[in-house]
Structure 1
């Protein structure tokens, strides 16, 4: 669970962070904001919905009780920051500061977990074996080179598509870029459930969404603060909040089963389809 909330989530959120930074440097604040909000919407409604359709997600770790309130709080914070149609530098500083606070808190939890946690054997099996330090450093360098390059081409191509079809930068960030940068989360979730590690899959979604708000949304605030599209505040941020609440309800339903089943997964996918229809109608 901790691996899902930290290492896996940070790794799969790296594209969103880099794309948001690239868009912000290009002055496309709405694209960066749309990427942050759209990625969270996509992670819950599409990625988690597809994963639950593949295999119902049982929620076995009590850690979720601690992390889901954090996700709800940071989501409410994002809604509040965008409510005045502005994303200020001070708000970006607050978000990135909270990002490091959350990382520190999750690290502290990982070192103070109770012994005998049922997830310990599963998470230990996730640690790669036989990988030398030199090989790990090599792939780290390759990733650090390719990630900003791919982010540059993605943002540049999205701008061309937006101009051709007459779409706003916000909609492009909410759709094409958000779905594209959420593919790592989809891969991580499917891999998790296929290995019967449901908490790893769900932890990846929760962690990624927390990091998307605190780190990805911080990028336009830090790099290109200013006015944001009012639709981001009056429509998209509330869709993100509603889906976050729906995730919590599905995870801790009144029957106490603590399981996201296929019907609930289908409901999430339906919500995603309805949201896409709303964007393009």
Structure 2
């Protein structure tokens, strides 16, 4: 038990440090290459912080633990919206630009509904995995189109607060931060999973809680660091992009490698919670004028996550 606890602590420390460097490199790269911070958040940061989920999903699928992979994808999305955005908004209220409200958030909702259609039969097969991967390509294309059509004055406003680093140094911190993010997350998840398994917790619940929270910590660290640096677009784009990656990339892996059936509760409880939180996020952004996620709404999201964990606990022990 000692080694898993040490892995948990050291993984968390490295995670926080690498997230700060990763955001620094990502923001500077956005400025140097003329890319908007939102596009960086939706692509580079989102893929980087989803790397732990992708790795865990691949390892779980190849070892016959596909239910852990599914739990990881759904649980991470629930954690990203309720825990990551909730805590980030509590620290620094997040403005939501009209472009995000009209394009990226509806795209996330559409992908979430598509994922529900594919698992409605409580089975994830190879055809489902192929459809999800095709959807990933469509989403990447749309991200690029969205940012090309963004108003130039909005992009200029974003770039004013970006750090100034030469290309070589910016890319260095981007890569170093990304590598350590992935490694520290793996270390943290291993330690947490070993502790959970020793207590006799099911693989699905481990995927929905311990592994999901562990693999969502990069998103939490990167989003909080971005918000504190006033890079709100990276914080919002990171969560939206990461949730899309989790559904179309992470969840596609078990379908492609080892098609699996799943318990009805996965759809009836966990998917429904994820879909409900996605609708809630969109509603919160629409409610405020101008659109934003306030501290009060961040508190509601964080409380919703605590309630979800209580629900999992009560259903597990009953």
Q: CA deviation at 1:177?
A: 0.6
Tell me: CA distance 1:61–1:5, structure 2 relative to 1, closer, same or farther (3 Å).
Answer: farther
Contact (CA 8 Å) 1:13, 1:211: kept in 2 or not?
Answer: yes
**Which residue number in structure 2 is paired with residue 189 of structure 1?**
223
Higher helix content, 1 or 2: 2
- The residue number in structure 2 matching 1:106 is 143
Alignment match, 1:170:
204
Shift of 1:113: 3.1
Cα distance in structure 2, aligned partners of 1:100 and 1:70: 13
Q: TM-score, normalised by structure 2?
A: 0.78
Q: Using CA pairs under 8 Å that are at least 6 residues apart, name the structure with larger relative contact order, 1 or 2.
A: 1
Equivalent of 1:51 in 68, 73, 88:
88
Contact 2:193 2:210 in 1 (8 A): no
Tell me the equivalent position of 1:74.
Answer: 111
Aligned equivalent of 2:156: 120
Looking at structure 2, the residues matched to 241 and 157 of structure 1 have their Cα atoms a distance apart, in angstroms, of: 30
TM-score, normalisation: structure 1: 0.88
Residue correspondences, number: 277
Provide the C-alpha distance between the structure 2 equivalents of 1:119 and 1:204, rounded to a whole number of angstroms. Answer: 17
How far off is 1:146 after superposition? Answer: 8.8
Distance between the aligned counterparts of 2:138 and 2:45, measured in 1?
A: 18
Give the whole-Å Cα distance in 2 for the aligned partners of 1:18 and 1:271: 27
Conserved 8 A contact 1:159-1:169: no
Among 44, 56, 75, the alignment partner of 1:19 is: 56
Which 5+ residue runs of structure 1 have no aligned equivalent?
Answer: none
Tell me, in whole angstroms, the C-alpha distance in 1 between the residues paired with 2:173 and 2:100.
34
Q: CA RMSD in A?
A: 2.6
CA contact (8 A) 2:193 2:211 kept: no
Correspondence list, 1:256-271, <5 A = 256-271=289-304
Write out per-residue CA displacement over residues 2-44 of structure 1, whole angstroms, 9 at most, x where no aligned residue.
2211121111111111111111111110100001000000011
Deviations 1:97-155 (A, max 9, x none): 11011112212333343322x2335347647623428x95798499669947964x667
Aligned to 1:235: 269
Instruction: Write the deviation string for residues 175-224 of structure 1: whole angstroms up to 9, x where unpaired.
Output: 11111111111112112211223222111111111111111111111111
Alpha-carbon contact 2:83-2:302 (below 8 Å) kept: yes
In 2, distance between residues paired with 1:212 and 1:97? 14
Query: Which residue of structure 2 lines up, in the alignment, with residue 96 of structure 1?
Result: 133
Task: Decide whether aligned partners of structure 1 residues 180 and 187 sit closer, same or farther in structure 2, where only a CA change above 3 A counts.
Answer: same
Structure 1: distance between partners of 2:239 and 2:135: 18
